[in-house]
Amino acid sequence: MKVWVIGLGGVTNGGKTTLAEKLKKVLPNCDIISQDDFFKPESEVETDERGFKLYDVLDALYMDEMVKSIHNWIKSPTSSGAGTEEPQNTCDNLKNTEDVYILIVEGFLLYNYEPLNELWNRRYFLTLPYEECKRRRSTRVYQPADTPGYFDGHVWPMYLKYKNELEENASNVVYLDGTKSQEELLSFVYSDTMQELKKLREGNQQVTA
């Protein structure tokens, strides 16, 4: 049994959660862990001098709990319920993938936390231009709600900061254009994943040959 851990990171409102859910439906033995599930309660999130709640930083998250959850899944993917649903795509690509368990970890701050970096088999990063990101963000309802100036004063600067860190320090990141349709993004990541799993299988066959 093999495991394959995919990181699906990037900009707020870039389509990470939607893409992860679509991938889960077409990939074999697939589970999702969402970083949003590890936010600290509002009372534990710092407030800056402008009154902005600092949600877009690592300190706003229980990152150690998130890492533990991923490790637990890697140790025992079959106990998670992965593979209980048949993938919708039953083409030949899925043959010989029954022994591979896939975890998609989706979130906005995946690649700037050292304990996570050793876990990825494949890393994707969704991007959006400023205007489109701001437009999408304005259509979403958050709890707590975005205060006036929050996007420009905190959300976007933090995205640029972490993206710059990623570009300076990380290699083998596949950048995805979040303005493309969900169908295009799904098609690309699905095909890329199946190619990577094929390489994984072939590598294992050579080792055991």
For the ranges 73-87, 171-185, 191-205, the maximum mean pLDDT occurs at 171-185
Is the predicted pLDDT of residue 84 greater than 50, yes or no?
Answer: no
Per-residue confidence at 171, pLDDT binned at 50, 70, 90?
Answer: confident
> Quick one: what percent of the chain has pLDDT higher than 90?
74
Active site residue 56: no
CA distances from 138 to 17, 108, 179 (A): 17, 17, 16
Active-site residue among 31, 36, 59, 92? 36
Looking at the whole model, is its pTM more than 0.85?
Answer: yes
Instruction: Select the CATH number that applies to the domain covering 2-78+99-179 from these four: 3.40.50.10490, 3.40.50.300, 3.40.50.970, 3.30.420.40.
Output: 3.40.50.300
Is the predicted pLDDT of residue 25 greater than 80, yes or no?
Answer: yes
Tokens of 164: 């710059």
